[in-house]
Amino acid sequence: MKKVLKIVSSLMVAGVISSCYADSYTDGKKAFEEKMYSKSVEAFTQACSENNFKGCYELGKMYENGMGVAQNKYEAGTLYAQACRGGESLGCSNMTLSYDTP
């Protein structure tokens, strides 16, 4: 019984510790909601580099709209394509739409 209690308490501590560290994508969304755009760009860039394709999509939106970075529609399209290749459907639709804008 003591062994089971020890294992359960260890798992609980591990769960609390791991929940203290959010992933880059979540950090980016939170920073964006707080209008901390440069911080959001950093977090989404990190998420995208870790193959979090939602992060690539969000970063693409930021480049498309010039939020936290200089507006760059070419970079936005590149990020949308990366998100699309990773299976992010919104990346695919935005990539297609980006071909129509000058």
**pLDDT reported for residue 98:** 74
Architecture per CATH, domain 2-98, reads as Alpha Horseshoe (1.25)
CA–CA gap between residue 96 and residue 36 (Å, rounded): 28
CB count, 10 Å around CB of 96?
A: 13
In the chain, domain spans? 2-98
Let me know the angle formed at the C-alpha of 86 by 83 and 88, rounded to the nearest 5 degrees. 55
In order of 12, 16, 18, 21, 22, the CA distances from 9 in angstroms are: 5, 11, 14, 19, 22
Nearest Cα neighbor of 81 from 66, 91, 71 is: 91
Q: What is the pLDDT of residues 26-59, one digit of tens each?
A: 999 999 999 999 999 999 999 999 999 999 999 9
pTM of the model: 0.76
